[in-house]
Homo-oligomer: A and B are copies of this chain.
Amino acid sequence: MKQKIGFMGLGIMGGAMAANILKAGYQLMVYNRTPGKTETLAQMGAGVASSPRNLAQAADVIIAMVTGPEAIYELLWGDEGAAEVLGPNKVFINMSSVPPRFTRELGEQLALKGTILLDAPVSGTKKPAEEGSLVILAGGKQDKIKELEPLFLTMGKKVIFCGRVGQGSMMKMFINLLLGVMMEGFAEALNFGRLGGLDLEAMLDTVFSGAMNAPMFQVKAGNMRDKNYPAAFPLKHLSKDAKFVLDTAYELGAPVPAGQMLLHLYRLGVAQGWGDEDISAIARVMEYLSGK
């Protein structure tokens, strides 16, 4: 018999991921801090929990997909938090983007209750979340991850084992650092070319015809053409991730010159009020820095 799943956090990503779990036939209970977002899932057959505690009581496996450490603390130790009802028979999976150190410390706290923590942040944004083609970056006990693979594969096309708990978060920092650099480089180069009189389509053609042709550039090209940046991955979240990367790099003694540049530039986008737009709105930042 399939486990009962609880899913907390129904944003752009979480909503789509929960829907895919449900479609795969799992019994699902959902919770969201702001209640409106549960409606679609309720209509699809999900139960709606009135609080994190209520959800955690009903579920064997509890998944969190929220905006960061503070939100996870709130779910666990806030009003009607889930922590009180956790125990040895439950698994807690954090799929949110958080620093590795936070995950390790969370693992130690949950271990006191006998609850296993897995960390399983994802690579991929809105579209892969909807299509169930995310890449799951899993850290924690390998046999538990193996056991839960069918659940993960309702949301993703692949599970990559990253090491002990916290290493999933580390892999997420790794891939988001690369993502941030590539997005910035794409925007910077296109802006440089624009000021140098190059045609946008000729530039895109050059990128798409050569070794730099990453799927991300294909996906974001439309935003660049339209100068319109509907959020698949909000800029403010990448700004936050860049800070996590820097904090982690500082602990590790890792040089991250590009990471530092990213924090500076994406933060500038947030300061300009573009935090809820897509990360590709970094193109706006380049124009802002150009003054033309």
A contact set with B: CB distance below 8 Å: 100, 123-125, 128, 135, 137, 157-158, 160-163, 167, 170-171, 173-175, 177-179, 181-182, 184-186, 188-193, 195-199, 202-203, 205-207, 209-216, 219, 243, 245-250, 252-261, 263-265, 267-268, 270-273, 286, 289-292
How many subunits of this chain does the assembly comprise?
A: 4
Contact B212 A197 (CB under 8 A): no
Would you give the shortest CB distance from A22 to chain B, in whole angstroms? 24
Contact B211 A215 (CB under 8 A): yes
Partner of A213, one of B171, B181, B215: B215
Question: With A206-B160, A216-B212 in contact, do A181 and B192 touch (Cβ < 8 Å)?
Answer: no
Question: How many angstroms between the C-alpha atoms of A174 and B194 in the bound complex?
Answer: 10
Which residue of B171, B186, B250 is within 8 Å of A193 (Cβ)? B171
Partner of A185, one of B178, B265, B273: B178
- Asked if B255 and A182 make an inter-chain contact with CB atoms under 8 angstroms apart, the answer reads no
How distant is the Cα of A137 from the Cα of B206 in the complex, in angstroms?
Answer: 8
- In angstroms, Cα B73 to Cα A290, docked, is 30
Q: Would you call B185 and A255 a contact (CB within 8 A)?
A: no
User: What 8 A-B pairs have minimum CB-CB distances, sorted nearest first?
Assistant: A181-B185, A271-B291, A255-B289, A211-B216, A214-B214, A174-B193, A178-B189, A260-B260
